[in-house]
Amino acid sequence: MTTGEPSCAKRQPQREGAISTLASENEEVRIHLRRPQLSLLVASLIIAISLVAIGVGISIAVTGVDRQGLPAQIEEVSPPRAASQVPAQTQVFVDLQSGFTGVLVIDDLELETVNLDEVRSNAKPGQQVKVPPTTIFEPGNATLSFDPSPESTISEFSQGEHIVKVIFWKLIEGRGRARSYTWSFTVF
């Protein structure tokens, strides 16, 4: 073994398609590339296009609060806009930003709104508070809620579409500077 090559650089017989890593200066390196299989190429292309389409779909998707198109002053409404299959006794609920108040108008009927703090102030300590069957405004959470009941103006929602409008304003500005948001839901 005095050929000048180290013993670890022993030449191995080459397989067809293999790339030689030990080539002397005078030897030509033979690279034999396999022809790609058309079915694998098509499958890879379909997977790549699908992944790109999923990424684009996720990046332009509008969901949650953005999908409802709520004004910045309204954090949540229930039932959601365009909801279908809503039960007849469902609660109408609006969550406003802190510092706002409002009234509910359901099917062109403005419901009386009662401040929950005022109802509580009339109660004696330990006495159960009877909540009137109207729209309840809870100032601590800035929420408006209405539950249909036999004692209220709306005993239950009839089958079909119902239109709800919330008229809201800042407590310090008064109703003269009110804005509104309208949505609908369908009772089954």
Q: What does the pLDDT profile of the chain (188 residues) look like in tens digits?
A: 455 555 555 555 555 555 555 555 667 777 778 888 899 999 999 999 999 999 998 888 766 656 667 999 999 999 999 999 999 999 999 999 999 999 999 999 999 999 998 888 777 888 888 888 999 999 999 999 999 999 999 999 999 999 999 999 999 999 999 999 999 999 99
Question: Residues spanned by CATH 2.60.40.1220 within the chain?
Answer: 64-187
Q: What is the pLDDT of residue 66?
A: 61
Q: pTM for this structure? A: 0.66
Report which secondary-structure segment, H or E, holds 142. Answer: none
Q: What is the pLDDT of residue 167?
A: 98
Q: What is the pLDDT of residue 13?
A: 55
Cα–Cα dist 130/135, whole Å: 13
- CATH code for the domain defined by 64-187: 2.60.40.1220
Q: Is the separation of the CB atoms in 62 and 81 below 8 Å?
A: no
Query: How wide is the angle at C-alpha 167 spanned by C-alphas 76 and 145, nearest 5°?
Result: 50
Question: Would you state the structure tokens that stand for residue 52, as one six-digit string?
Answer: 């790109």
Q: Is the separation of the CB atoms in 116 and 95 below 8 Å?
A: no
Report which secondary-structure segment, H or E, holds 47. Answer: helix 38-60
For residue range 97-150, list pLDDT tens digits in order: 999 999 999 999 999 999 998 888 777 888 888 888 999 999 999 999 999 999
